[in-house]
Structure 1
Amino acid sequence: MAHFWQGLRSGEWLTAERMRGYSMILLGLCIVATVGWIALSDSFIDRNGKPIGTDFSSFYAAGSLALEGHAAEAYTPTAHYAREQRLFGEKTPYYSWNYPPVFLLVVTPLAALPYPLALGLFQLAGLGLYFLVIAAILAPARRRDPVFARNWLPVAAAFPAVFINLGHGQNGFLTAGLLGAALVTLERPMLSGLCIGLLCYKPQFALVIPVALLVAGCWRVIASAALTVAALVAVSSFCFGIDSWTAFLASTETSRKVLLEQGSVGFERLQSAFAAVRLWGGSVPLSYAVQGAVSALAVVATAWAWRVSDNRALKAALLVTATALTSPHMLDYDLVVLAPALAFLTLVMQQDGARDYDKSLMALIWITPLMARSAADLFGIPLGLLAMLALFVMVLRRLRQQRDNVASGVDLTFANP
């Protein structure tokens, strides 16, 4: 038993060979399951009567309405569901559309394509961006260590949140890619700001990023992001009409009550402090209070780190994790955004060494998306939230230890591969 705990503490059990082997096994199982599920479908409708790519059917239906000049109807549940039924059959479940009109700029062109092609193009493009960004973050480590260079891709590909995102046809790859790209290109403020501005289709992730940029004095990044958002609002208003924005704003109250407070998507799928309290039977006011406290702590800690630290990798990891923690509407497929945080922290550990239990905790956080929904559903354990909190504390602890001398010991050039 003592040897077991010593192994967990040192992380010696997590060798490069095991990381690659475990990743390849999981990757193979998921690929076989995915191919089999698609092969058993009937005209891209799975055995449960759901469209392959589930949530993407919502994107496709909204884009279809926008193509016909009825973008505002995507925010009317009856009209949107009628379009989903027309496209995928009367028995298809309803998948809501809750994104601002700027995201219609992405999904409307896709709706002009056959559904399987649109889904495949959307996911492959997002997955490609995800891999490029993880590769860019880890570029210094890949150059220094040939073993690391051989193993990073299987580990990134087999991250369980990748398959959850693929299965739901969601936009987590785009979110993770843009957030990671924004942080890896901070020395190119116009590009970094552009990436941040493009994230405006996920307004629930907007709480902590502006605070970090403000306290760090990243004024050109802020200006670029603001101009990008303004341009996207203007273009989407021109393409889809001001009424699309009016309809979106009117729909947010219903979305908040139904999706978040009532948990129509299932509190076991939501990975936030708010959802954890609701999962345990807490009231809506108590859930907001707990979420508010967690969010406030995350924002304050991130602001402190971005104000006093020169360690870009650790600050980036903290910001990504805080962004996830501060959103009450954080679903299990959104956990793919933790991949850039894990990559930034891995870069630091590869250069600065691992602390006690770091490797074992990283492995547990990596595998968490695979078990998060089941753990919450069967046992009431919010594993996703616990994993995010653990990652946040790990990064914050390193920042406190290194705030005085980290810049001289870590290579943070983040050159593109």
Structure 2
Amino acid sequence: MGFFQRTGILAGLRSGAWLTGERVRGYSLILLGLGAAAIVGWLALSDAMIDRNGKPIGTDFSDPYAAGTLALAGKAADAYVPALQHDAERAVFGGRDVPFYGWHYPPFFFAVAMAVAALPYGWGLLLWLTSSLAAYLAMIRMVLPRPETLLVALAFPAVLVNIGHGQNGFLTAALLGGALHWLDRRPILAGVLIGLLAYKPQFGLLIPLALLAGGRWKPIGAAAATVAVLFALSVAAFGSGIWQAFAESTRFTQDVVLEQGNTGWEKIQSIFSAARNWGATVPVAYALQLLLALTVAASLAWLWRSTAQFELKASALATACLLATPYVLDYDLVVLAVSIGFFVRHGFARGFRDYEISMLAAAFIVPLLSRGIAAGTGIPLGLLALLSLYAFTLRRAVADCATPTAATALPAHS
């Protein structure tokens, strides 16, 4: 401790003075450059959309694309049968033996799968990533309308992780962040966005609780109506049996993908995965996950009933959505941009407290490091970052409630 005090490192971490605006821009440009170089190299070394490791470019994207081809052929239910889904994935790449990527989504997500599958694989991947990235950037610019926002949002390492997997982190963040942004301004629109988020049902565990605690009845009604319409449309398109196929497939998802760790413990950022990685049994890991979820739920309900500023409620909810589920992967950490964005917005308006800037910087860089550190050391860096961000948000909320101006409107930027 004496060394850190003498060198001023501890003081810098405490104040956050080390992270100047110039450094934010410089670090962001470095991360963007490294990310761009990685993507170019990845594509240059690929052969017919297969990388040097024998995996499809966009890896996980091959799963919705193959499911979309099945749906377009009138065989949507086959996507929920692992062997048939894997056959469809092989067919996409001319029969080459690519790894299996399961289709775990509710039937209404076939609409997206069919849209991208109507194009050649590479063009479908490009359409998916660019459109969902645009939605993510538009959302974060609304949450934090500052000149540097887009640069920092693009440089966020979770963006590169999500692109590498061809995954849906951009869409998840855009829907959740957009819903929170519009919640009080246009509650019906917010509810529709929350309803659309049902394509990732594991992230919706605590959203109804927060809305109920905050008395947001219009978004609740709009979200319920949206899910009902999505259900009806999927039944009309694929028949009622499609939901039975989905329900039966969830057992495979739970057993093989989550509990047995076939996805890789280092990729999953939950306390369940951390416990399993440390050797805990499945019941013990579930007990720890349940304990954390209940703790987060109780604190979130208090927060959304409190007089704390909405920005803190929004930041906490976005983080809580990631903490409550046992199945959250590193590409899902794009949602951290929502948490960080609302937190920073409140910080610019009210000032930052001790260690907050350094904590935010750590949360920002974690998606770049979490998988490698978890694989090499067993330390669940992503989980620790989520817990730290949530705790700091609650700390700020407690102080916010103690101020006489807590219920006043908060400007979007300084």
The TM-score, its normalising length taken from structure 2, stands at: 0.96
Alignment partner, residue 24 of structure 2: 19
Cα distance 1:407–1:71, how it changes in 2: closer, same or farther (>3 A)?
A: farther
Question: Which whole-Å deviations, capped at 9, do the CAs of 1:265-319 have from their partners, x for residues lacking one?
Answer: 0011000010010010000000000000000011111110001124110000000
Task: Give the deviation of 1:406 after TM superposition.
Answer: 6.5
Structure 2 residue corresponding to 1:64, chosen from 60, 64, 69: 69
Cα distance 1:233–1:413, how it changes in 2: closer, same or farther (>3 A)?
A: farther
Instruction: Return the letter of the residue paired with 2:193.
Output: C
Structure 2 residue corresponding to 1:300, chosen from 298, 301, 325: 298
Instruction: Return the letter of the residue paired with 2:237.
Output: C
Alignment partner, residue 152 of structure 1: 149
The answer to whether 1:47 aligns with 2:52 is yes
The answer to whether 1:165 aligns with 2:162 is yes
The residue correspondences of 1:219-230 to structure 2 (distance < 5 A) are: 219-230=217-228
CA distance in 2, matches of 1:245, 1:218: 30
Once structures 1 and 2 are overlaid, which stretch shifts more, 280-289 or 231-240?
Answer: 231-240
CA contact (8 A) 1:23 1:158 kept: yes
CA contact (8 A) 2:345 2:412 kept: no
Instruction: Return the letter of the residue paired with 2:16.
Output: G
CA contact (8 A) 2:312 2:342 kept: yes
CA distance in 2, matches of 1:407, 1:319: 22
CA distance in 1, matches of 2:149, 2:116: 31
The answer to whether 1:309 aligns with 2:307 is yes
Output the aligned Cα RMSD: 1.3
CA contact (8 A) 2:207 2:321 kept: yes
CA contact (8 A) 2:133 2:170 kept: yes
The residue correspondences of 1:312-323 to structure 2 (distance < 5 A) are: 312-323=310-321
Greater relative CO, 1 or 2 (CA 8 Å, sep 6+): 1
Instruction: Return the letter of the residue paired with 1:84.
Output: E
CA distance in 2, matches of 1:111, 1:248: 20
Alignment partner, residue 146 of structure 1: none
Structure 1 residue corresponding to 2:109, chosen from 103, 107, 120: 103
CA distance in 1, matches of 2:115, 2:341: 32
Q: Report the number of matched residues.
A: 406
CA distance in 2, matches of 1:203, 1:412: 31
The TM-score, its normalising length taken from structure 1, stands at: 0.95
The answer to whether 1:393 aligns with 2:391 is yes
CA distance in 1, matches of 2:224, 2:80: 25
Alignment partner, residue 332 of structure 2: 334
CA contact (8 A) 2:315 2:393 kept: yes
CA contact (8 A) 2:308 2:406 kept: no
Alignment partner, residue 269 of structure 1: 267
Task: Give the deviation of 1:412 after TM superposition.
Answer: 3.1
CA distance in 2, matches of 1:349, 1:267: 34
The answer to whether 1:257 aligns with 2:273 is no
Unaligned runs of 5+ in 2: none
Query: Post-superposition, which runs of at least 4 consecutive aligned residues in structure 1 deviate over 2 A?
Result: 404-415
Instruction: Return the letter of the residue paired with 2:247.
Output: L
Task: Give the deviation of 1:41 after TM superposition.
Answer: 1.0
The answer to whether 1:33 aligns with 2:38 is yes
Task: Give the deviation of 1:349 after TM superposition.
Answer: 0.8
Partner-residue secondary structure (3-state), 1:340: helix
Instruction: Return the letter of the residue paired with 2:38.
Output: A
Unaligned runs of 5+ in 1: 143-148
CA distance in 1, matches of 2:326, 2:409: 35
CA distance in 2, matches of 1:203, 1:72: 19
CA contact (8 A) 1:332 1:372 kept: yes
CA contact (8 A) 2:308 2:397 kept: no
Cα distance 1:410–1:160, how it changes in 2: closer, same or farther (>3 A)?
A: farther
Task: Give the deviation of 1:240 after TM superposition.
Answer: 1.8
Instruction: Return the letter of the residue paired with 1:274.
Output: F
CA distance in 2, matches of 1:407, 1:257: 50
The residue correspondences of 1:122-271 to structure 2 (distance < 5 A) are: 122-139=128-145, 142=146, 149=147, 151-187=148-184, 188-271=186-269
CA distance in 1, matches of 2:200, 2:301: 21
Task: Give the deviation of 1:47 after TM superposition.
Answer: 1.0
Cα distance 1:410–1:368, how it changes in 2: closer, same or farther (>3 A)?
A: farther
Task: Give the deviation of 1:90 after TM superposition.
Answer: 2.7
Question: Which whole-Å deviations, capped at 9, do the CAs of 1:209-237 have from their partners, x for residues lacking one?
Answer: 00010111111110000000000011111
Alignment partner, residue 145 of structure 1: none
CA contact (8 A) 1:310 1:406 kept: no
CA contact (8 A) 1:352 1:410 kept: no
Instruction: Return the letter of the residue paired with 2:272.
Output: F
Question: Which whole-Å deviations, capped at 9, do the CAs of 1:143-172 have from their partners, x for residues lacking one?
Answer: xxxxxx2x2222111110000000000000
Task: Give the deviation of 1:410 after TM superposition.
Answer: 6.2
Task: Give the deviation of 1:125 after TM superposition.
Answer: 0.7
Instruction: Return the letter of the residue paired with 1:181.
Output: G
Question: Which whole-Å deviations, capped at 9, do the CAs of 1:2-36 have from their partners, x for residues lacking one?
Answer: 11111111111100000110110010011011012
Task: Give the deviation of 1:404 after TM superposition.
Answer: 3.9
CA contact (8 A) 1:314 1:344 kept: yes
CA distance in 2, matches of 1:62, 1:100: 12
CA contact (8 A) 1:309 1:315 kept: no
Instruction: Return the letter of the residue paired with 1:161.
Output: A
